Structure 1
Amino acid sequence: MENTEQIWSVSDVNRAVREIVEGSLLPFWLRGEVGSLVIHRSGHVYFTIKDTRSQMRGVFFGGAAACTKLGVANGTLIEAFGNLTVYEVRGEYQFSARQLRLAGIGDLQQRFEAVKNKLAAEGLFDPGRKRPIPVLPRRIGVVTSPSGAAIRDFLQIINRRFPNVNVRIYPCAVQGAGAAEQVARGVDFFSRTRGADVVVVTRGGGSMEDLWPFNEEVVARAVAACSVPVISAVGHEIDFTICDFAADLRVPTPSAAAELVIGRRQEMSDRLNRFEKDLHNTLNLALTRLKSRLDRAAGSFVFKEPAHLARMRRQQLDELENRLQGSAERWLLANRARLDQLAGTLTTLNPSRQLERGYAILFDPAAGKPVTTSKVAAGTRLQARLADGEMTVEVQ
């Protein structure tokens, strides 16, 4: 009797399983927690995705940049779009991701687009509403967390480029519940009091959830209604918020905002020196031409006898030269004196100089605000900011 039994190879079985698995389900969204994450130097990402009861292998070919941008790590809750595949070599099925996002980001993105479209329809983002940023403001208002990295980066640039500028900080929370309202109140404070020539709204980078207060209507409307120009420096270069669209100018980082608002003092000095040199060169060239014309006229037949007329014109020309040079020098001295006066005033008003004299600023860590009253309960622990650092003190 002939043996008709079919003998399968392992490869045959795995191939059949792959065809069944990959052909039975359409691409879908899968939600779970990342584990065993490996971002290979090839650009591919390997991981497990799990819930409280089960897990499966996952792969995201070419997904290294996307995972790095989102800050995906072990324990991150994600939503991945893709399909089931079978890796025949090991006989394992896995989820092959085509797109990745942090869990809940889809809802936030929809809210972002809804708020953006609503405010755009009202004209809050129109280019015609944008105002120019002052070239060298005397006072800079900053709305941010007083303990965040953003304000440290901002002040570092300010002190290096233009240490005498007056910076006023409105302390507020920059993420979490109530942060949007605090940011809006900070912008409104500078708008009402005219306490600054330009306002910078800033915080460091973070996830979309972290940056969400800057996507709220209350912040966008406060920025659009501010009586002085507003710069938005929220997140990193790849981050965009609705505050960016409402502001007069958007810059990618807090450091870029600092460089923009103060300009460069050395550049101003160089421009003044170039102007002085160009003015002298122009005057000397004009006087040389006039003298040459006068010399030619004095040598002509008409002026040979009345030579005293030529000498008189020469004397008048010399006097004119002296007056022009004196006027130019007085103008330059007056402007240099004004610049030095402003520098002295800014030095006096610089908060950092007050700290160097032995003063300190007390902050309530719980409230995140400076302490402005002596009515603080005994035993309360406060943070004291000094010129060279910080210390914790306790109220007696």
Structure 2
Amino acid sequence: MALNTSAEAPLPVGEVSRLIGGWIDRLGAIWVEGQITQLSRRPGAGVVFLTLRDPAHDISVSVTCFRQVFDRIADVVSEGARVVVLAKPEWYAPRGQLSLRATDIRPVGIGELLVRLEQLKKSLAAEGLFALDRKRPLPFLPQLIGLVCGRASAAERDVLENARRRWPAVRFEVRNTAVQGVNAVGQVVQAVEELDALAEVDVIVVARGGGSVEDLLPFSDERLIRAVAACRTPVVSAIGHEPDSPLLDLVADL
């Protein structure tokens, strides 16, 4: 709505700010995507402050949310992360500042994946599947090792060669499976259960080399975690490189 103003009849700053706030208030809640460029979580404070930037343009907006909103994704979101937020635009009249009050924050891309893994991790931990008192000792000199790995993979070669250098009499019962992709979980679970059913198998090793978070997803799948938790045979997780941490690492005995 146009306002009738002139040099002789201007609006006071306070009135302009009030009108702007009224217009902004009509927008309602909206979903906004951007990149977190600043993040402030003061200890003990009930509100989290962050700056959301448009990666394609030099434009940013301040965002606030209650701590419990941010805590849901705090483990996997930091400065630089891309997120979508459900927020209500707010106008702070005394300073003439626009901000967004977020009621939901969700990572996008790899961040969203990490959030789901973190939620699964907390759920399984609450059931006690990762508890230290569930860990079983490994045999000092295993006579027969069950090995689950990719066919003709570097992981298979490394395990076989290094084990035989240290214990030449050791024997292996190998199950080759897919180690990434849609078939990996079902095949790895089946292999683990088959080896666990063999009384002569002393320990089971599940092995594969490094890869992206997406490549290693099968080894954080809930079906595999529960299958390993149910094993009577000790299980060793040998997945990825040192920084990689699939959920299989947490449920395995070593």
TM-score computed with the length of structure 2 as normaliser: 0.59
Shift of 1:27: 10
1:29 alignment partner in structure 2: 35
Partner of 2:80 in structure 1? 99
Q: CA deviation at 1:233?
A: 0.9
Q: 1:134 to 1:29 in 2, by over 3 A?
A: same
1:226 aligned residue (206, 217, 231): 231
Distance 1:110 1:84 in 2: 22
161, 169, 177: which one pairs with 1:172? 177
Deviation at 1:228, TM superposition (A): 0.8
Q: Which moved more, 1:220-229 or 1:148-157?
A: 148-157
1:29/1:165 Cα in 2 relative to 1: closer, same or farther (>3 Å)? same
What is the DSSP-based 3-state SS (H/G/I as helix, E as strand, rest coil) of the residue aligned with 1:183? helix
Contact 1:146–1:169 (CA under 8 A) maintained in structure 2:
no
AA in 2 matched with 1:29: Q
Per the TM alignment, residue 148 of structure 1 is displaced from its structure 2 partner at its CA by 1.6
Counterpart Cα distance in 2 of 1:237 and 1:204: 10
Cα distance change on mapping 1:139 and 1:27 into 2, 3 Å: same
Structure 1 counterpart of 2:211, one-letter code: G
Per the alignment, residue 133 of structure 1 pairs with: 138
> In the alignment, which residue of structure 2 is the partner of 1:121?
126
SS state at 1:99 partner = coil
Sequence identity of aligned pairs in percent?
45
- SS of 2:206's equivalent in the other structure is strand
- Tell me if the contact between 2:34 and 2:54 (Cα under 8 Å) persists in the aligned partners: no
Contact 1:198 1:228 in 2 (8 A): yes
Superposed CA offset, 1:272-314 (max 9, x none):
xxxxxxxxxxxxxxxxxxxxxxxxxxxxxxxxxxxxxxxxxxx
Contact 2:204 2:234 in 1 (8 A): yes
Which amino acid is 1:99 matched to? G
Question: Take 1:154 and 1:100, find their aligned partners in 2: how far apart are those partners?
Answer: 37
* Equivalent-residue separation in structure 2 for 1:100 and 1:239 (angstroms): 20
Gaps of 5+ in 1: 1-25, 31-59, 61-80, 86-92, 250-396
User: Which is helix-richer, 1 or 2?
Assistant: 1
SS in 2 for 1:199: strand
TM-score by length of 1: 0.39
Within-5 A mapping of 1:244-393: 244-249=249-254
- Paired with 1:100 and 1:194, the residues of 2 have a C-alpha distance of 48
**1:206 and 2:206 matched:** no
- Of structures 1 and 2, the larger Rg is shown by 1
- Cα deviation code 1:287-345 (max 9, x no counterpart): xxxxxxxxxxxxxxxxxxxxxxxxxxxxxxxxxxxxxxxxxxxxxxxxxxxxxxxxxxx
The one-letter amino acid of 2:224's match is V
| d(CA) in 1 for partners of 2:184, 2:230 | 19
Moved over 3 A (4+): 81-85, 100-103
* Matched residue SS, 1:136: coil
Q: CA separation of 1:98/1:214 partners in 2, compared to 1, >3 Å: closer, same or farther?
A: same
Structure with more relative contact order (C-alpha pairs < 8 Å, separation 6 or more): 2
